[in-house]
């Protein structure tokens, strides 16, 4: 058996290549859109990719099943409860997908979504216990998939939560303790609240240590797993719907079209968003007026998708050569509306100082001096689960993913100090406020961690 996990840190997303050496047949589970990594691995192992399996219609990224089907002719497999606009094979509970000696078994595990499935991997005909189970967003390491993401599509967290409870107890926990667990996500994903940094475990270990698997009552389970979930980024519903559709295929090697400064300014006047992908500290030293800072070194796609609408046109700018990676990462969440990129940013800032702005950034000591003497509006853009450790003063708490839709809760005429945990999200939020006409905006260097003297984190 060939078994390979591909873990994408910036989205905390895992995908898998499973193959049989004797037949050269392989399957990819939960592929991302930039599929060259699977094609290269398949070539190295001498595999033909015959199927792309989706454990469910993902909300946090746009899947690569159509890209793989176009590139390889692979069949697309989806849980039987799923309805899609493209040609696919409906996978039912108990279905077997033989690759040779290696065989995959489908288990329908609704709960995170109605069509969710898990894939049990058998590595030989003689095996008495399965090698692994790919659990998608049904079971994570340390957590389970949240059942509340589809409430906007008419499905209640209560109903899906009960389905999830049954799926875990009747389909997942019936597997032997030795079975390896390979989930769809790890720590940092908004698809759960308590995900581990570990990327695999075993059924036995999860049975013992996963808080969500300790409940004997479905009501208690639903209450526990729905409490304190982070707000979903704005693009989640968009991706959940788009993953069901036939849509354009992404080609990862294509570069955005270079644009002149004049073209960029004209596009911005027409509603295009200029995303500056540089580090917040560099952005603060000088940026183009109206630019929104979403640093490429962080969870770029997730936060860009939180503050930019899917229907908005985007122009990229940043460090030379970064535009291809930025386009790919936006493409992973289905944001294909990159109309171009502005090269030579530093030169434009020097040649056009009237268009250049510096961002105000305060240290924790600076903030302490201003708190008693200023009519300062404090904005905390951390998630609600993070603010339990404390907030600064009487800060207004608006998670950055909700900020564009809640600007009316803030006074644009008051001096405003924005902070997060470590300084990444606050730079995003501060740049949004400036672009929306707030007069005096600063962000806190090092965030709340610097305020309380703990190590900085995003």
CA-based end-to-end distance of the chain: 39
CA Rg value for the chain:
23
Q: Which residues, in sequence order, are bridge partners of residue 180?
A: 132, 202
Q: Is the pLDDT of residue 457 over 70?
A: no
Q: Which pLDDT belongs to residue 156?
A: 87
Q: Which residues, in sequence order, are bridge partners of residue 235?
A: none
Mean pLDDT value of segment 286-299: 95
Per-residue tokens: 432? 């949004």
Q: Which pLDDT belongs to residue 456?
A: 43
Q: What is the pLDDT of residues 419-429, one digit of tens each?
A: 999 999 999 99
Q: Which pLDDT belongs to residue 458?
A: 46
Q: Which pLDDT belongs to residue 152?
A: 55
Confidence of residue 450 (pLDDT cuts 50, 70, 90): very high
Mean pLDDT value of segment 102-110: 98
Q: What is the pLDDT of residues 183-201, one digit of tens each?
A: 999 988 888 888 999 999 9
102-123 CB burial, b ≥16 within 10 A, e <16: bbbbbbbbbbbbbbbbbbbbbb
Distance CA 2, CA 37 (A): 15
Q: What is the pLDDT of residues 310-357, one digit of tens each?
A: 999 999 999 999 999 999 999 999 999 999 999 999 999 999 999 999
Domains of the chain: 2-242 (3.60.15.10), 261-357 (3.40.250.10), 360-452 (3.40.250.10)
Mean pLDDT value of segment 395-415: 95
Q: What is the pLDDT of residues 212-229, one digit of tens each?
A: 999 999 999 999 999 888
3-state DSSP assignment of residue 447: helix
Strand extents, DSSP E, 363-431: 377-380, 396-397, 416-419
Q: Which pLDDT belongs to residue 192?
A: 82
Q: What is the pLDDT of residues 126-170, one digit of tens each?
A: 999 999 999 999 999 999 999 988 765 677 889 999 999 999 999
Q: Which pLDDT belongs to residue 159?
A: 92
Q: Is the pLDDT of residue 74 over 60?
A: yes
Per-residue tokens: 433? 């406020």
Based on the number of CB atoms within 10 Å of its own CB, is 353 exposed (0-12), middle (13-18) or buried (19 or more)?
exposed
How many Cβ atoms from other residues are within 10 Å of residue 57's Cβ? 23
Strand 360-362 versus strand 377-380 pairing type: unpaired
Region for residue 359 given its phi and psi (left: phi exceeds 0; alpha: psi -120 to 50; beta: otherwise):
beta
* Chain mean pLDDT for the chain: 94
Q: Which pLDDT belongs to residue 234?
A: 85
Mean pLDDT value of segment 421-442: 96
Question: In degrees rounded to 5, what are phi and psi of residue 425?
Answer: -70, -30
**Which of these, 71, 80, 90, 84, lies nearest to 31 by C-alpha position?**
71
Distance CA 417, CA 381 (A): 11
Q: Which pLDDT belongs to residue 151?
A: 63
Q: Which pLDDT belongs to residue 384?
A: 81
């Amino acid at each position: 058996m060939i078994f390979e996990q591909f873990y994408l840190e910036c989205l905390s997303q895992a995908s898998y290549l499973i193959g049989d050496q004797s037949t050269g047949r392989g399957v990819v589970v939960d592929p991302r859109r930039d599929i060259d990594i699977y094609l290269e691995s398949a070539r190295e192992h001498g595999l033909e990719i015959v199927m792309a399996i989706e454990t469910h219609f993902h909300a946090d990224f746009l899947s690569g099943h159509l890209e793989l089907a176009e590139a390889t002719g692979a069949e697309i497999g989806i849980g039987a409860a799923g309805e899609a606009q493209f040609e696919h094979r409906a996978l039912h509970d108990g279905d077997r997908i033989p690759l040779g000696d290696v065989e995959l078994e489908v288990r329908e595990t609704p709960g995170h979504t109605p069509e969710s499935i898990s894939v049990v991997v058998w590595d030989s005909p003689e095996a008495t216990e399965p090698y692994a189970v790919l659990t998608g967003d049904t079971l994570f390491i340390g957590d389970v998939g949240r059942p509340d993401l589809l409430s906007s599509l008419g499905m209640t967290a209560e109903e899906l939560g009960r389905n999830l409870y049954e799926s875990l107890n009747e389909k997942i926990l019936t597997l032997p303790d030795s079975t390896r667990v390979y989930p769809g996500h790890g720590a940092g994903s908004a698809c759960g609240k308590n995900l581990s940094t570990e990327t695999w475990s075993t059924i036995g270990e999860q049975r013992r240590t996963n808080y969500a698997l300790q409940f004997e009552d479905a009501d208690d389970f639903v209450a526990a797993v729905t409490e304190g979930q982070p707000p979903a980024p704005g693009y989640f519903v968009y991706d959940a719907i788009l993953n069901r559709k036939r849509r354009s295929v992404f080609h990862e090697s294509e570069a955005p079209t270079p644009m002149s400064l004049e073209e960029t300014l004209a596009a911005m006047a027409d509603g295009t968003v200029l995303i500056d992908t540089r580090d917040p500290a560099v952005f603060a030293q000088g940026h183009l007026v109206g630019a929104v800072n979403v640093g490429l070194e962080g969870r770029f796609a997730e936060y860009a998708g939180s503050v930019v609408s899917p229907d908005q046109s985007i122009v990229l700018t940043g460090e030379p050569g970064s535009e291809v990676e930025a386009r790919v990462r936006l493409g992973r969440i289905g944001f294909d509306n990159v109309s171009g990129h502005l090269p030579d940013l530093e030169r434009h800032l020097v040649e056009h100082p009237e268009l250049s702005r510096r961002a105000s950034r305060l240290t924790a000591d600076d903030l302490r001096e201003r708190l008693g003497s200023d009519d300062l509006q404090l904005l905390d853009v951390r998630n609600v689960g993070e603010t339990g450790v404390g907030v600064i003063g009487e800060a207004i708490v608006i998670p950055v993913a909700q900020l564009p839709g809640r600007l009316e809760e803030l006074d644009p005429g008051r001096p405003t100090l924005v902070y997060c945990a470590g300084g990444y999200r606050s730079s995003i939020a501060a740049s949004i406020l400036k672009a929306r006409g707030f007069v005096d905006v600063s962000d806190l260097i090092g965030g709340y961690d610097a305020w309380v003297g703990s190590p900085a984190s995003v």
